[in-house]
Amino acid sequence: MSTPSLLTLTHGAGASIESLFLQSLIQSLKLNAFDVNAFNFDYMETILKTKKRRPPEKMDKLKLQFANNIKQGTTCIAGKSMGGRVATMLAADREFDYLNIKHVFVWGYPFFAPKKDTPRIQHFDNIQAQVHIFQGTRDCFGKPEQIDPLKLPSNIHIHWIDGADHDFKILKCLNRSTQQTIDHITKKMRDILEEATILN
């Protein structure tokens, strides 16, 4: 990419943007020509200040907070787990079309809630942006045998990470570190945007 791509990203339900995974991801993104704007949802800021756990807010509030944290000129948004789900919900909501979101990246999409059989993909048909989901083959929120049979729209792309769990920790037998996996993901993201630029 000739100029850095603006990317607004956020965290999952239980860990903030200060988590080791997201800090490593952010640094790798910067090395791959991304201009990163990372933020915590309000409930997470409260957790960090009070040191007391609390649940995330309702989806409508999370979507609005996400929208309010997107810098002008940003067309790419992303999130880890729950944050990625919020990003896809934002892209599916016509109320937020003014944001002009073109690409959504998700690291570990929570396809299935714990002990639930219905996939959380009802809004996928309303998304006009290109969605790229990086999913570990051992992810407890959605494994290949659960996801592959789903009839996902053509703009929803699943990139399987062999041997990775929901936090992208890799089976030791594969001899690949989490950092190597992160670098692989961020390079793939860069390649996706470069290809989109050429095609447009």
Domains and CATH numbers, the chain: 5-199 (3.40.50.1820)
Cβ burial of 117 (10 Å; 0-12, 13-18, 19+) is exposed
Beta bridge partners of 8: 37, 77
pLDDT at 115: 87
Contact call for residues 79 and 85 (beta carbons, < 8 A): yes
Distances in Å between the Cα of 165 and the Cα atoms of 23, 157, 188 are 18, 18, 19
| pTM (2 d.p.) | 0.96
pLDDT at 191: 96
Q: Block means of pLDDT (10 residues each) for the chain, length 200 residues?
A: 83 97 98 96 98 96 98 95 98 97 98 93 98 98 96 97 96 93 97 80
pLDDT at 2: 55
The whole-angstrom separation of Cα 115 and Cα 198 is: 43
